[in-house]
Structure 1
Amino acid sequence: MSLPELDRQPRLEGARYLLRPLAAEDWDALYAIASDPAVWEQHPMQDRWRQDVFRDFFDDALARGGALAIIDKDRGEIIGSSRFQALKSAEEDEEEQSSVEIGWTFIATRYWGKGANREIKRLMVGHALQSVERVDFRVGEANWRSRTALENIGAQRTRRTDLSKYQRKRVLHLIYAIRREDFADGPLASDT
């Protein structure tokens, strides 16, 4: 069975949040959130709150495509961003499954612990698994907040890791995954 091609810049709507393609005009609203150092305190790139560093991150998101703005529907305002990246066919993937990475997600601190991440990830994972067999998440080894959030949505830590460098320091990322067969019975299967 052939799967439809993944639309990496969809418009996805849930009960409380809307995800739509990121636009250059979103800079001010998104940087207002990203400029809070608390957003990045456990992230491997802890200086992303700085305007010059965040500008590179933002420009990269626009250039690569796959970036989405997260909108609080009641307030009509941007509360963060996420991305679809690293789309791979079964032939390109080491586990011989088609996959896409969801990541680079950040949301305003006032939305932490209130179900925003769960709804956002349910929308994104559900959308992706219509076109790929697996969704991957890369998370910094010491980013316990994100690791716990991933485990709460049913992502399983894999044996795969990714080692990169940032400011001449080694950064270890752990890879978590949600497979199509696990999604249907997992915690993201419904919007409750």
Structure 2
Amino acid sequence: MDRQPVLEGERLLLRPLEPADWDALFAVASDPQIWAVHPMHNRWQEPVFRAFFADALDKRGALAVIEKSSGEVVGSSRFQGYDPMNGGSVEIGWTFLARRLWGSGANAEMKRLMLAHALGHVEVVNFRVGEDNVISRKAMEHIGGRLTDQIDMTDTPNGPVAHVVYEITRESFATGPLSRAA
């Protein structure tokens, strides 16, 4: 599975994240409100975001999200943890968008593009969401994510954080809210 494809929708273009995206992406990420309910609520700070950005480049699964109408970088997401065994799975996560796009359908378009790409190669896409991140949990339910009984603990500089896991299967995507046919 290509974890850094170019994906194009009506309003968004997703392409591999590049080092030259730093300034534009940090301009979006430096909004503290984006991270207010996120487990890494200090990611708006430059040193913390610099580590996040470097990790995204190192793991080679990150995408820059471009608003086609303006040409601006408006966020990022990643494909991580690709496992081709038993039908295959991959995780979509580390997603954030400029606040001006919240509630606009941009997140749903981005996830639809990423899910359609991933589910052409794997049977299941997983999403790890901070247990207390009510905004992201609501977004997962909105796009058809099914809450599993899996809980992952992650050590962060802010202490251990519990993440719940949602999944979307090839079958549930085909009939779910992000399906073009639904």
Match of 2:105?
Answer: 115
Q: Does 1:83 align with 2:107?
A: no
- Could you list the per-position Cα deviations for residues 161-185 of structure 1 after superposition, in whole angstroms to 9, with x for gaps in the alignment? 1001112622000000000011110
- Could you list the per-position Cα deviations for residues 135-154 of structure 1 after superposition, in whole angstroms to 9, with x for gaps in the alignment? 00000001000000010000
Q: Contact 2:40–2:158 at 8 Å: present in 1 too? A: no
Alignment equivalent of 2:47, drawn from 37, 52, 64: 52
How many angstroms apart in 2 are the aligned matches of 1:14 and 1:29?
A: 21
Q: Give the fraction of aligned pairs with identical amino acids, expressed as a percent.
A: 56
Q: Aligned to 2:41, what secondary structure does the other structure show? A: coil
Q: TM-score, normalised by structure 2?
A: 0.97
Q: Aligned to 2:175, what secondary structure does the other structure show? A: coil
Q: Does 1:35 align with 2:25?
A: no
Which amino acid is 2:30 matched to? S
Q: Aligned to 1:60, what secondary structure does the other structure show? A: helix
Match of 1:159?
Answer: 149
- Could you list the per-position Cα deviations for residues 115-143 of structure 1 after superposition, in whole angstroms to 9, with x for gaps in the alignment? 00000000000000000000000000010
Which amino acid is 2:21 matched to? D
Number of residue equivalences = 182
Alignment equivalent of 2:140, drawn from 144, 150, 163: 150
Match of 1:67?
Answer: 62
How many angstroms apart in 2 are the aligned matches of 1:97 and 1:162?
A: 22
Alignment equivalent of 1:132, drawn from 104, 119, 122: 122
Which amino acid is 2:35 matched to? W
Q: Which runs of 5+ in 2 are unaligned?
A: none
Match of 2:177?
Answer: 187
How many angstroms apart in 2 are the aligned matches of 1:120 and 1:168?
A: 29
Q: Contact 1:119–1:191 at 8 Å: present in 2 too? A: no
Q: Which runs of 5+ in 1 are unaligned?
A: 1-5, 91-95
